[in-house]
């Protein structure tokens, strides 16, 4: 029986490599200004992006060190060594005190910029949690509670960020407002379906099309229990996000330098090179993880019945409506649902589902799993240990389940983030 795990991991690693800052950032960096380069970064790739920017300006262009300053805020465990740009590691997915301090320092640096300065904003997925600057009247603990409630609700990332933007002093275009009259260039690695600049890191430097009314509707739609201070903030017109007529946007430019589609294309090419026909389901999938898994399992069964050797690939960002008390993330839950659907296929079907940042849900630790793999070994372990995938799904305990079977994928921080990669290999010969 063929061991498909090396190929599954190679496909995932190829997707991650296609979006690494060392590979994609430098060619997009703007020319130095007459004044300073003030680098402000947020997200899981922020420190790596800052280090790449330093190499470009200091080493390649020979810019004087005193003309470069800044602050990059990233998830705990995602920091790298830098020379002029400070790196702060902060909480994700739930913000912490470090992110609170970093956001205040970021706003202060932006406010120090003059007309001759360049404010270089380096964004990637995770920036919304890393930059936490609650709106006036909303406490840090209240903002944390809203974040937890949104993450457990099953709301897609666009809706989560709509609420975040209207409870913030930095999101929804407000960083651009703080940096005016400086030139602002934002370079972003997308981690959201459809690559909407207003959703990536909650759009701190671009106009926001969503409104306070939209945010209130999302709170109501998911019946979220939030503090009265949050309701008051979402009723306060002063908390409306920045719109297109904001003066700062006249000197602001946004460029997308890494997309989930680019990484999925790299994954597709690796699968084809291995001899598989590819079913490409796209880079923008959304929905409940277990439901998407059931649909993909049906595709795999059909290919198996037709004796076709295929690789079924998809990206996007799935969600989990948390009803149980277990641990996990959308990729692990997807893999668990696949295991429940495909247990009788033994060695003919194998799969990997993982987040390209190296962390799928979890508690914010660098050792959190990136996702999980399943194959014949998984199904054998299920039988040997008497495990019940359906029971684990009911408790949202994919991490516990795959810890028992030995199938968690632990990659560590990858220093980028272009969302999820899911691969199902169907090999009728096993």
DSSP states of 242-262: P-TT-GGGGGEEEEEEE-HHH
Number of Cβ atoms within 10 Å of the Cβ of 57: 22
pLDDT at 363: 76
Beta bridge partners of 372: 353, 408
pLDDT at 340: 95
Give the separation between CA 184 and CA 62, rounded to whole angstroms: 22
Give residue 364's pLDDT band: very low, low, confident or very high (50, 70, 90).
confident
Give residue 347's pLDDT band: very low, low, confident or very high (50, 70, 90).
confident
- Say yes or no: 348 and 397 in one domain: yes
- Say yes or no: 89 and 236 in one domain: yes
- Say yes or no: 121 and 206 in one domain: yes
338 three-state secondary structure: helix
Tokens in use for 99?
A: 């992110």
The tens digit of pLDDT for each residue in 275-293 reads 999 999 999 999 999 999 9
- Say yes or no: 204 and 282 in one domain: no
- Average pLDDT on 342-346 reads 89
407 three-state secondary structure: coil
pLDDT at 360: 95
Domain boundary among the residues 207, 231, 258 is at 258
Torsion sign over Cα 172, 176, 178, 180: negative
Kindly report the three-state secondary structure assignment for every residue of 285-328: ECCEHHHHHHHHHHHHHHHHHCCCCEEEEECECCECCCCCCCCC
Number of Cβ atoms within 10 Å of the Cβ of 346: 14
- Average pLDDT on 237-264 reads 97
- Say yes or no: 198 and 88 in one domain: yes
Residue 5 CB-density burial (10 A; 0-12 exposed, 13-18 middle, 19+ buried):
middle
- Average pLDDT on 98-110 reads 98
pLDDT at 346: 78
CATH of the domain at 362: 3.40.1480.10
The tens digit of pLDDT for each residue in 389-430 reads 999 999 999 999 999 999 999 999 999 999 999 999 999 987
- Average pLDDT on 330-345 reads 96
- Say yes or no: 103 and 227 in one domain: yes
Q: Residue 41 above 80 pLDDT? A: yes
Place of tokens 């020979």: 62
Q: Which value, in Å, is the radius of gyration of the alpha carbons in the chain? A: 22
Domain boundary among the residues 237, 258, 279 is at 258
pLDDT at 328: 95
CA 245 to chain centre: 29
Distances (CA, A) of 293 to 97, 192, 325, 425: 36, 19, 21, 14
Give residue 132's pLDDT band: very low, low, confident or very high (50, 70, 90).
very high
Q: Residue 86 above 80 pLDDT? A: yes
Could you tell me if 151 and 93 are in contact, meaning their C-beta atoms sit under 8 angstroms apart? yes
pLDDT at 374: 98
Q: Residue 169 above 80 pLDDT? A: yes
Give residue 323's pLDDT band: very low, low, confident or very high (50, 70, 90).
very high
**181-191 CB burial, b ≥16 within 10 A, e <16:** ebbbbbbbbbb
- Say yes or no: 403 and 309 in one domain: yes
Residue-range definition of the domain harbouring residue 246: 21-258
Mean per-residue pLDDT over the chain, rounded: 96
Tokens in use for 358?
A: 């190296």
Give the separation between CA 89 and CA 77, rounded to whole angstroms: 7
Q: Residue 144 above 80 pLDDT? A: yes
CATH of the domain at 83: 3.40.50.10180
Q: Residue 319 above 80 pLDDT? A: yes
Give residue 1's pLDDT band: very low, low, confident or very high (50, 70, 90).
confident
Q: Residue 109 above 80 pLDDT? A: yes
Number of domains in the chain: 2
- Say yes or no: 168 and 219 in one domain: yes
Query: Among candidates 345, 256, 354, 258, which has minimal Cα distance to 303?
Result: 345
Domain boundary among the residues 225, 258, 291 is at 258
- Say yes or no: 207 and 309 in one domain: no
The tens digit of pLDDT for each residue in 215-242 reads 999 999 999 999 999 999 999 999 999 9
pLDDT at 22: 97
Q: Residue 259 above 90 pLDDT? A: yes
- Say yes or no: 156 and 291 in one domain: no
- Say yes or no: 142 and 241 in one domain: yes
Give the separation between CA 158 and CA 179, rounded to whole angstroms: 25
Residue 351 CB-density burial (10 A; 0-12 exposed, 13-18 middle, 19+ buried):
buried
Tokens in use for 62?
A: 């020979």
pLDDT > 90: percent of the chain: 94
- Say yes or no: 227 and 375 in one domain: no
pLDDT at 361: 82
Tokens in use for 300?
A: 């795999």
């Amino acid at each position: 029986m063929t061991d498909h795990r090396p190929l599954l991991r190679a496909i995932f690693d190829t997707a991650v490599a296609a979006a690494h800052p060392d590979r994609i950032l430098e060619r997009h960096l703007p020319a130095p200004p007459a004044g300073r380069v003030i680098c402000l970064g947020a997200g899981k790739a922020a420190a790596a992006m800052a280090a790449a920017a330093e190499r470009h300006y200091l080493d390649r262009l020979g810019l004087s060190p005193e003309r470069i300053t800044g602050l990059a805020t990233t998830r705990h465990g995602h920091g790298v060594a830098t020379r002029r740009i400070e790196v702060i590691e902060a909480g994700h997915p739930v913000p912490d005190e470090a992110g609170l301090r970093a956001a205040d320092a970021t706003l202060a640096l932006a406010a120090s910029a003059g007309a001759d300065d360049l404010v270089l904003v380096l964004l990637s997925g995770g920036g919304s949690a890393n930059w936490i600057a609650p709106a006036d009247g909303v406490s840090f603990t209240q903002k944390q509670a809203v974040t937890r409630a949104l993450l457990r609700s099953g709301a897609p990332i666009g809706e989560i960020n709509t609420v975040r933007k209207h409870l913030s002093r930095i999101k929804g275009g407000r960083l651009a407002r703080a940096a005016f009259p400086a030139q602002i260039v934002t370079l972003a690695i997308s981690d959201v379906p459809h690559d909407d600049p207003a959703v990536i890191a909650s759009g701190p430097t671009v106009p926001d099309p969503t409104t306070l009314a939209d945010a209130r509707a999302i709170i109501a739609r998911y019946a979220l229990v939030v503090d009265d201070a949050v309701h008051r903030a979402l009723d306060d017109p002063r908390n409306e996000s920045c719109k297109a007529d904001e003066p700062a946007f006249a000197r602001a430019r946004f460029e997308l330098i890494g997309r989930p589609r680019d990484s999925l294309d790299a994954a597709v090419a690796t699968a084809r090179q291995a001899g598989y026909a590819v079913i490409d389901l796209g880079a923008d999938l959304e929905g409940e993880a277990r439901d998407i898994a059931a649909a993909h399992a049906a595709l795999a069964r059909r290919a198996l019945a037709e004796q076709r050797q295929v690789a079924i690939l998809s990206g996007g960002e799935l969600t989990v409506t948390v009803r149980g008390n277990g641990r996990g993330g959308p990729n692990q839950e997807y893999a668990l649902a696949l295991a429940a659907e495909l247990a009788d296929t033994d060695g003919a079907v194998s799969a990997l589902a993982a987040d390209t940042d190296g962390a799928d849900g979890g508690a914010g630790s660098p050792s959190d799993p990136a996702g999980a793999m399943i194959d014949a070994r998984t199904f054998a372990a299920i039988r040997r240990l008497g495990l019940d995938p359906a029971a684990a799904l009911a408790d949202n305990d994919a991490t516990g389940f795959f810890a028992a079977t030995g199938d968690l994928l632990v990659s560590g921080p990858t220093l980028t983030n272009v969302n999820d990669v899911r691969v199902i290999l169907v090999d009728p010969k096993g």
